[in-house]
Structures are given as C-alpha cells and as structure tokens.
A and B are shown apart, each in its own frame.
With several copies, the nearest count.
Chain A
Amino acid sequence: MTEEIIVAGFGGQGVLLAGKMLAVAAMRQGKHVSHIPSYGAEMRGGTANCSVVISDEEIASPTIEHPSVLIVLNEPSLKKFEKTMAPGGLLLVNTTLIKAKAEREDIKVVYQDFTDFAREAGSDKSANMAALGCLIKEKNFICSLEALINALDEAVSQRNRRFNTIN
C-alpha cells in the first residue's frame, strides 16, 4: 500500500514541518517514506507545499503527480492541487481561510476549521497539526496518533530556521 500526500498552504503555516512529522512518524512504524518540500516557484510570502510518500514497499519516486491525500490550508492551494488528485483520494479542506468548495466528485472531501480548532488549542500556527490529527483519523494506515505526537518533538528540535528560500 502506498499513500501519496500533499500538504499545501501559505508559507509560514508550517506545512513543511507537518509533512516532515508525518514522514518521521510513519518511518518509526516501519514504513518507507520520503518528503520533499516545495521550494521551486514559491517565494517569501507565497505558498508552500510538500510531498510525502508513505509505503510498505520501496519508494520508486518521491515526487507526486496524483496525490491520494491532499491537505489544503488556503484557497490557492485548493485551486492548484484539487484537479491533480487521484480518483478516490482524500481531500482535507481548512475552512478557516477557504470559503470555496471542492469540485471533484470522485474523491472524499472533509471540511474542517483547522485554524479555529488550533487557535482554541492555543496557537494560530498549528493549523497544520490539527490537519494531521484529522488525517490519521481517516487514514490509520499512515501511523498512530502516538507516533505522530512523538514525531512532533523530534521534528521541532530539528527545525531551527527556514532553509527553503529562494536563490
């Protein structure tokens, strides 16, 4: 089994970190994983996304053309990635900043107010964490909640400053 997950949002919403946490958690549970941040056309103040592949088998390509899971934290990301999704995929939409609805009918869509959810939990930065919790509820193949929480500590300690900058 293989999940191809894209997490997308504004720069600064922590999408890269979220992806990394997923990857670490899944790796700890014996999965093959890969993580690539977008750092291409994006710029300061622009959008950011990352591609996470989680699989039982060796991973052929870490790049994703047709995600089986898409988490979008802002509206441009929904517009950009929805159409690329694999049929039958799972789409998680952050309704705090996204008023639009998904158009595809061959996928499963979950709407959730991540930012609100996160702000209630004390930080407006961790909309991404809320999204992850929501994800593994839907797809428990990926990892356990416990593994995810452990990964959080690990990931945070590795992160110190943004690297994925332009030029």
Chain B
Amino acid sequence: MAAKGEPLINSERCKGCGLCIANCPKNILEMSKEFNSDGVTFPTLNDEETCTACTFCATMCPENAIQIRRF
C-alpha cells in the first residue's frame, strides 16, 4: 500500500511528549536517538509507506510540531 501522505515533524519545536507516537493508528512513529538543541528526543517515521495522512499525530501534538503533507 502506498503512503497517502507524511508527517512533517519540526524537531526543534518538539518537546518529546510522545503523544503523537501513542496515537498513530499505524504505529509508525518512534522516538529518535538524537537530541534537538534543547536536549530532547523527537518522533521520526519508521515506515514511510504506511502513513494514511490521518492527521492523528498532528491532532494530538501540543506543540504544533507536526504538519501533514497529503500526496
């Protein structure tokens, strides 16, 4: 199945709360190993093919750190 879209994650805005990860119905987000300049880890997409552009991750993000590009 081809991806319907992708989350664009602004890692500098992110505070690493993990709500996006917990609410992705496809379970395709995970925490980075790196830190942003605040020293926090942020979500990354681990399976680009599966994203349905459902916006759930963005909906939950308290920091407005995620936008969704729909293909």
Indicate if the CB atoms of A45 and B15 lie closer than 8 Å: yes
A74 interface residue per 8 A CB criterion: yes
Closest to B39 in A: A97
What number of B residues sit within 8 Å (CB to CB) of A?
Answer: 5
Within 8 A of A (CB), among B7-21: 15
Indicate if the CB atoms of B15 and A74 lie closer than 8 Å: no
CA gap between A40 and B15 in the complex, in Å: 23
CA gap between A13 and B39 in the complex, in Å: 10
Closest to B15 in A: A45
Residues of A within 8 A of B (CB): 10, 13, 45, 74, 97, 115
Query: Given A45-B15, A45-B38, A115-B39, list of 7 further CB < 8 A pairs?
Result: A10-B38, A10-B39, A13-B39, A74-B39, A97-B35, A97-B37, A97-B39
